[in-house]
């Protein structure tokens, strides 16, 4: 008799994925400029560390916000007692204003349509519980954030069916790819309840085109299913084309009073745009009052600490600061992304042209010994253990083509990035030169060395696609 | 049309639909305020601990770094803001483990590596249910019990709850017979029982489980090889003898498979911090700790709050004096309240813990039915203008009991509440011999399992809507 639940004993938490294993390797031997200069550099963490000084200087000028005070008076008691799952009104207002500003105020959001959750992790899971039954499916364009396997499927019993996107058209979503995924789901007797997109995309770092968004709206309208747009990177769009939110497209097409309006939901968070993942600030935005009502009650299982709601309500209500932060943050992201791109170029490595996110989608297909996922894993293991960079292999993001890697650039200092690029360049040079030697012989030796080094490295992703 | 909302979302599993909304509506429409609305409804349905805030505020004033706003604090801002590790800040786990030990008189030690975060106790209960049971399986829960369990343990998990019926005839103690009866009932209904959930100290009774009862429960679950979840969120509210005995102590004394033992904890009641969402799952089962850690991603404690709590609870002097001060305040308030009630002939279950009393109004019922209980409840809300919680909403098998909270108001409000009760009792000519609880022979009413949504008032579940006059709700930027 099983002592624990099936959920506790299965692997759906996705933690055996190489995405997480890379982190584990990093944790054993983390780089530090002084204490461990030969350690592994973390480039698998999509964190925004570029603009903390802006937040810190705001805090220094606004100590009341973080000290649970208002106008010098302590409101500690009120905050400590505040557990209303409707959320702090001042915070919701500030949050929707922030969201609107990120979208150039081309759309506005109603605070009463917002549901606050403990991070986007919780928001995505909650939406699944609200929109789907067990064994229903959502279609997701690949490549996608590995955490979705846990967030959308684990405790909900919902399935993910991939919409395959390929490098042939820069991984854009096509009508035929969506249709194919839909048919594939039907063949497996899975009822499709909706499509979930991430825009801007993780791991691609690109914003979706209006054409793609139109396509998606047409499809979900036709099939009468939901569309979830995870827009947690919306504030990281640093160059053109401008970010186009799904809400903007609906508005421009005058679809406010139609059925599809109620079936489009947005997920947001402050973990990427503001760089505050520790504070667990997520949100669901929906035009469907039933969804808002149900999700609000469900948020009981993961509310945002009132202390944090208050701090951020003060910060995000500061219009001047908001504007300044958004602009400055974008500039810094752009500058840093360029450094990564040029560093990669010097190593003879290209990447997908991107205008958003905290990472680049890097093309290392030419470094693979063969166009297979096994070769991708081999390459990845060498990069983690020999080059000592933790980057994320495309297979962990369910990419259908081997050879692509997500490399983060905003979670380290400029010097660390320089060093990482130096290491990568040396690696590529040595790989190329050894390749020019006796090809067969060196391959054989390499494989032998690899096997010795990676004896402790058993886990493989459960379902590589 | 294909795109529907899920059954979970459209059903009543959240437990908040109730035809008996009178209490909450009446309160919201006319909430008491000492100066603005002195005739308003006084909220006594809220199990909050508001007696020690001044004590805590003093500590905060002397420790600005705990709030990340002093010079030292701001330095920690970046690393705190980035910290999203589901293992939690080590100092947070250590501080919580130490606090849990102190609350139990340091009779047991807690291992920080077994402390798992969750979104309040609400999140903790759901998480434990997800870890231990599959849809369609069941937990046994002694009645009367906290109404929120119906939502927390069942709603999204598909797990069932089967009541272990406790009677007033023996002060609602959990008997071996009652456990066996519930287990049998579940089996007959084709429900596989995965565990027993006890709340100790009890909500709504305000009593603690004695050593014998605890041992008996531990023996029972070991024999059946099922889990024991001990919700100990009121552990620090034990304000007088007998001393609190935790499951963590019992398993040191008796033979027990520790893989079956799990504790749910929170700072919402003991410290009065429901808004900070600090929930804890403490399990003696390694696999459960591992699984719960991963699941905690869905409801981590804000690192800002982890930092505050770690600072506060690492201060031994503060913690030691807080525990004493809190008990003292609760004792005084409880004594004052129950004594004054007895003067007008109202008894309650003898209790030594919690933020409420289990008030005995059976003699005020027109007849011994739940309908009569509802009628009396409406009178209390509309005439006496007190929002209290009817026993039926806690699945009590006997009508006439009400949970009345006493720690969520200041002295002045307490006086007004007592005055109203006195007036009501005098008016109804129910002068009786003051003093102890009248013992009655067990009424043995057949317990028909009510749908939770028949008797639910949202105010008795956490989280819930706040006091309408709270400045935070009316706040505008």
Tell me if A7 and B291 make a contact (CB, 8 A cut-off): yes
Cα distance between residue A208 and residue A247, in whole Å: 13
Contacts of A271 in chain B (CB under 8 A): 84
Q: pLDDT value at position B452?
A: 34
Residue B100: predicted pLDDT:
98
Q: How confident is the model at residue B430 (pLDDT cuts 50, 70, 90)?
A: low
How many whole angstroms from its chain centre is CA B311?
A: 25
Residues of A in contact with B7 (CB under 8 A): 133
Torsion of CA A312, A317, A322, A323, to 10 degrees: 170
* B472/A89 Cβ within 8 A: yes
Q: Do B77 and A297 touch (CB under 8 A)?
A: no
Chain segment A346-358, per-residue pLDDT in tens:
999 999 999 999 9
Q: Using CA atoms, how far apart are residues B30 and B268, in angstroms rounded to an integer?
A: 26
Q: Is the dihedral of CA A119, A125, A129, A130 positive or negative?
A: positive
Which residues between 369 and 388 in chain B have a beta carbon less than 8 angstroms from any beta carbon of chain A? Answer: none
* pLDDT-derived band at B67, boundaries 50, 70, 90: confident
The rounded distance, in Å, linking the Cα atoms of A113 and A107 is 14
Strands A350-351 and A359-363 come out as antiparallel
Q: Say yes or no: B433 contacts chain A, CB-CB below 8 A.
A: no
Q: Put residue A254 in one of left, alpha, beta given phi > 0 → left and psi -120 to 50 → alpha.
A: left
A288 touching chain B per CB within 8 A = yes
Residue A173 has a pLDDT of: 98
- B124 vs A contacts (CB less than 8 Å): none
Both tokens of residue A1? 């008799």
Percent of chain B with pLDDT over 90: 79
Asked if B12 has any chain A CB less than 8 Å from its own CB, the reply is no
Tokens of A449: 């060395």
Q: Is the pLDDT of residue B260 over 50?
A: yes
Residue A432 has a pLDDT of 74
Give me the pLDDT at residue A9, please: 85
**Which of the residues of A are catalytic?**
145, 230, 232, 272
pTM of the model: 0.90
Is residue B436 within 8 angstroms of chain A, CB to CB?
Answer: no
Beta bridge partners of A274: none
Name the pairing type of β-strands A389-390 and A41-42. parallel
B418-to-A43, B43, B342 alpha-carbon distances in Å: 64, 13, 11
- φ, ψ (nearest 5 deg) of residue A42: -80, 110
- The distance of B458 to chain A (nearest Cα, Å) reads 11
**B121-152: per-residue pLDDT in tens?**
999 999 999 999 999 999 999 999 999 999 99
Mutate one of B63, B68, B81, B266 to test the A interface: name it (highest A CB count within 10 A): B81
The minimal CB distance from B477 to the residues A94, A294, A298 is found for: A94
- Burial zone of B392 (CB within 10 Å; 0-12 exposed, 13-18 middle, 19+ buried): buried
Cα radius of gyration rounded to whole Å, chain B: 22
Q: Which of B27, B146, B234, B282 is catalytic?
A: B146
One-letter-per-residue 3-state SS of chain B: CCCCCCHHHHCCCCCCCCCCCHHHHHHHHCECECCCECCCEEECCCCCCCCCHHHHHHHHHHCHHHHCCCHHHHHHHHHHHHCCCCCCCHHHHHHHHHHHHHHCCCCCCCCHHHEEEEEHHHHHHHHHHHHHCCCCCEEEEECCCCCHHHHHCCCCCCCEEEEECCCHHHCCCCCHHHHHHHHHHHHHCCCCEEEEEEECCCCCCCCCCCHHHHHHHHHHHHHHCCEEEEECCCHHHCCCCCCCCCHHHHHHHCCCCHHHEEEEEECCCCCCCHHHCEEEEEECCHHHHHHHHHHHHHCCCCHHHHHHHHHHHHCHHHHHHHHHHHHHHHHHHHHHHHHHHHHCCCEECCCCCCCEEEEECHHHCCCCCHHHHHHHHHHHHHHHCEECEEHHHHCCCCCCEEEEECCCCCHHHHHHHHHHHHHHHHHCCCCCCCCCCCCCCCCCCCCCCCCHHHCCCHHHCCCCCCCCCCHHHHCCC
Residue B73 is predicted with a pLDDT of 64
Residues of A within 8 A of B272 (CB-CB) are 80-81
Instruction: Determine whether the interchain pair B53/A77 forms a contact, defined as Cβ–Cβ distance below 8 Å.
Output: yes
Residues of B in contact with A78 (CB under 8 A): 470-472
The token pair that represents B200 in the structure block: 């100790």
Query: Alpha-carbon distance B137 to B153, whole Å?
Result: 11
For residue B75, what pLDDT is reported?
74
Chain B nearest-CA distance from A92, in A, is 10
Exposed, middle or buried, B157 (CB in 10 Å: 0-12/13-18/19+)? Answer: buried
What φ, ψ does residue B162 adopt, rounded to 5°?
-120, 125
Residue A349: phi, psi to the nearest 5? -115, 135
Q: What is the pLDDT of residues B440-465, one digit of tens each?
A: 333 222 233 333 333 334 445 666 54
**pLDDT score for B334:** 97
3-state secondary structure of A118: coil
pLDDT digits (tens, 9 = 90+) for B373-427: 999 999 999 999 999 999 999 999 999 999 999 999 999 999 999 999 999 998 8
Question: Which pLDDT does position B468 carry in this prediction?
Answer: 44
- Comparing C-alpha atoms, which of A109, A357, A98 is closest to residue A248? A109
Which among B312, B458, B472 is the top mutation candidate for probing chain A, defined by the most A β-carbons within 10 Å of its own β-carbon? B472
Is A82–B465 a contact, with Cβ atoms under 8 angstroms apart?
Answer: no
Distance, in angstroms, between A430 CA and closest chain B CA? 36
> Which residues 167-226 of chain B have a CB within 8 Å of chain A?
225
Question: Which residues, at least 6 apart from B212, have a Cβ–Cβ distance to it below 8 Å?
Answer: none
Decide if A307 and B14 are in contact by the 8 Å CB cutoff: no
Residues of chain A with pLDDT under 50: 1, 438, 452-465
Q: Is the distance from CB of B464 to CB of A81 less than 8 angstroms?
A: no
Q: Which of A407, A403, A405, A406 is nearest to A370 (CA)?
A: A403
Under 8 Å CB-to-CB from B242, ≥6 apart: which residues? Answer: B208, B210, B352
Digit-coded pLDDT (tens) for B282-303: 999 999 999 999 999 999 999 9
Q: Of B266, B243, B261, nearest to B251 (Cα)?
A: B261
B47 contact partners, CB below 8 Å, separation of at least 6: B203, B269, B354, B355, B356, B403, B405, B407, B408, B460, B462
Is A122 in CB contact (< 8 Å) with chain B? yes
Question: d(Cα A162, Cα A141) in Å, to the nearest integer?
Answer: 6
Contact criterion met (CB < 8 Å) for B294 and A15:
yes
Contacts (Cβ under 8 Å, ≥6 apart) of A317: A90, A93, A94, A97, B477
**pLDDT given at position B473:** 55
Residue A78 touches chain B, beta carbons under 8 Å: yes
Interface of B with A in 148-177 (CB under 8 A): 151-152, 156
Please give the Cα distance from A137 to A131 (Å, whole number).
10
Res B454: pLDDT: 36
Tell me the average pLDDT of chain B: 88
Please tell me which residue of chain A has the smallest CA distance to B271.
A80
A448's enclosing H/E stretch is helix A439-453
B51-54, long-range: CB within 8 Å, 24+ apart, which pairs?
A: B51/B272, B51/B326, B51/B329, B51/B330, B51/B333, B51/B407, B52/B271, B52/B272, B52/B322, B52/B325, B52/B326, B52/B329, B53/A76, B53/A77, B53/A80, B53/B272
- R_g (Cα) of chain A, nearest Å: 23
Residue B395 tokens, joined: 């699945």
Query: Number of A:B CB contacts under 8 A?
Result: 273
* Amino acid B14: pLDDT: 82
Nearest one of A78, A156, A303 to B279, comparing CA atoms: A303
CA gap B437, B382 in Å, rounded: 26
Comparing A141-150, A330-339, B13-22, B348-357, which segment has the lowest mean pLDDT? B13-22
pLDDT: which is higher, B38 or B445: B38
- The order of strands in the sheet holding A159-163 is A114-117, A282-286, A264-269, A226-230, A191-198, A136-141, A159-163
State the pLDDT at residue B209.
98
Running DSSP on this structure, what letter comes out for residue A29? S
């Amino acid at each position: 008799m099983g002592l624990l639940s099936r959920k506790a004993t299965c692997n759906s938490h996705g933690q055996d994925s190489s995405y997480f294993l890379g982190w584990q390797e990093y944790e054993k031997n983390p780089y530090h400029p002084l204490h461990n200069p030969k350690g592994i550099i973390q480039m698998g963490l999509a964190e925004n560390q570029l603009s903390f000084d802006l937040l810190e200087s705001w805090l220094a000028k606004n100590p009341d916000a973080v000290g649970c005070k208002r106008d010098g008076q302590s409101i500690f008691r009120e905050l400590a007692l505040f557990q209303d799952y409707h959320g702090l009104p001042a915070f919701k207002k500030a949050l929707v204003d922030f969201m609107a500003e990120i979208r150039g105020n081309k759309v506005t959001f109603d605070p009463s349509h917002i549901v606050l959750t403990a991070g986007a992790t919780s928001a995505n899971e909650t939406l699944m519980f609200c929109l789907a039954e067990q064994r229903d499916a959502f279609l997701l364009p690949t490549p996608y954030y590995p955490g979705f396997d846990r967030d959308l499927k684990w405790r909900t019993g919902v399935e993910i069916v991939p919409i395959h996107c390929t490098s042939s058209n820069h991984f854009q979503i096509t009508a035929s790819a969506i249709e194919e995924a839909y048919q594939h789901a039907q063949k497996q007797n899975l009822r499709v309840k909706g499509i979930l997109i991430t825009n801007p995309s993780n791991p691609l770092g690109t914003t979706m085109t209006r054409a793609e968004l139109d396509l998606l709206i047409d499809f979900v309208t036709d099939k009468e299913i939901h569309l979830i747009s995870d827009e947690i990177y919306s504030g990281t769009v640093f160059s053109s084309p401008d970010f186009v939110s799904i809400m903007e497209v609906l508005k421009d097409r005058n679809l406010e009073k139609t059925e599809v309006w109620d079936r489009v939901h947005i997920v947001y968070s402050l973990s990427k745009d503001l760089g505050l993942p520790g504070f667990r600030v997520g949100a669901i935005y929906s035009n469907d009052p039933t969804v808002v009502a149900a999700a609000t009650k469900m948020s009981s299982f993961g509310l945002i600490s009132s202390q944090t709601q208050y701090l951020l309500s003060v910060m995000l209500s500061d219009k001047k600061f908001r504007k300044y932060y958004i602009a400055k943050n974008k500039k810094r992201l752009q500058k840093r992304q360029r450094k990564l791109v040029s560093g990669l170029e010097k190593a003879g490595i290209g990447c997908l042209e991107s205008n958003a996110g905290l990472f680049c989608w890097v093309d290392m297909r030419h470094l693979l010994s063969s166009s297979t996922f096994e070769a991708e894993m081999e390459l990845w293991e060498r990069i983690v253990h020999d080059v000592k960079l933790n980057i994320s292999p495309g297979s962990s993001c369910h990419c259908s083509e081997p050879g692509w890697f997500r490399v983060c650039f905003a979670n380290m200092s400029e010097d660390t990035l320089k060093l990482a690029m130096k290491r990568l360049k040396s690696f590529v040079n040595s790989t190329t030169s050894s390749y020019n030697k006796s090809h067969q012989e060196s391959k054989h030796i390499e494989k032998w060395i690899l096997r010795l080094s990676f004896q402790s490295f058993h886990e493989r992703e459960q379902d590589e696609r | 049309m294909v795109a529907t909302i899920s059954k979970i979302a459209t059903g009543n599993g959240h437990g908040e639909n109730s035809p008996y909304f009178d209490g909450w509506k009446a309160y919201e429409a006319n909430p008491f305020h000492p100066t603005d609305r002195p005739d308003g409804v006084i909220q006594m349905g809220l199990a909050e601990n508001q007696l020690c805030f001044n004590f805590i505020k003093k500590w905060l004033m002397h420790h600005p770094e705990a709030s990340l706003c002093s010079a030292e604090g701001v330095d920690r801002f970046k690393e705190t803001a980035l910290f999203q590790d589901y293992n939690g800040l080590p100092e947070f786990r250590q501080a919580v483990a130490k606090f849990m030990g102190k609350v139990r008189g340091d009779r047991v030690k807690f291992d920080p590596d077994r402390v798992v975060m969750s979104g309040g106790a609400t999140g903790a209960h759901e998480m434990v249910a997800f870890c231990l049971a599959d849809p369609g399986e069941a937990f046994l829960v002694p009645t009367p019990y906290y109404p929120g369990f119906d939502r927390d343990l069942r709603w999204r998990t598909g797990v069932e709850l089967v009541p272990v019926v406790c009677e007033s005839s023996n002060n609602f103690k959990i008997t071996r017979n009652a456990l066996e009866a519930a287990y049998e009932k579940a089996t007959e209904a084709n429900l596989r029982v995965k565990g027993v959930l006890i709340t100790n100290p009890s909500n709504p009774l305000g009593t603690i489980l004695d050593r014998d009862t605890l041992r008996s429960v531990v023996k029972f679950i070991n024999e059946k090889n099922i889990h024991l979840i001990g919700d100990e969120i009121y552990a620090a509210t034990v304000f007088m003898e007998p001393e609190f005995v935790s499951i963590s102590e019992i398993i040191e004394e008796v033979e027990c498979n520790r893989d079956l033992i799990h504790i749910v904890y929170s700072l919402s009641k003991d410290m009065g911090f429901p808004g900070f969402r600090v929930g804890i799952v403490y399990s003696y089962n390694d696999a459960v700790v591992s699984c719960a850690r991963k699941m905690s991603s869905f409801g981590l404690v804000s690192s800002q709050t982890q930092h505050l709590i770690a600072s506060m609870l690492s201060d031994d002097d503060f913690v030691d004096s807080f525990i004493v001060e809190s008990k003292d305040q609760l004792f005084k308030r409880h004594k004052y309240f129950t004594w004054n009630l007895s003067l007008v002939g109202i008894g309650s279950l003898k209790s030594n813990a919690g933020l409420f009393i289990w008030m005995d109004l059976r003699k005020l019922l027109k007849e011994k039915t739940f309908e009569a209980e509802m009628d009396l409840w409406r009178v209390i809300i509309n005439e006496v203008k007190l929002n209290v919680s009817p026993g039926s909403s806690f699945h009590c098998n006997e009508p006439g009991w009400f949970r009345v909270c006493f720690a969520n108001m200041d002295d002045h409000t307490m006086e007004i509440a007592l005055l109203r009760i006195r007036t009501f009792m005098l008016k109804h000519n129910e002068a009786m011999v003051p003093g102890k609880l009248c013992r009655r022979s067990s009424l043995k009413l057949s317990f028909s399992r009510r749908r939770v949504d028949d008797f639910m008032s949202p105010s008795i579940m956490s989280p819930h809507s706040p006091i309408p006059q709270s400045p935070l709700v009316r706040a505008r930027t």
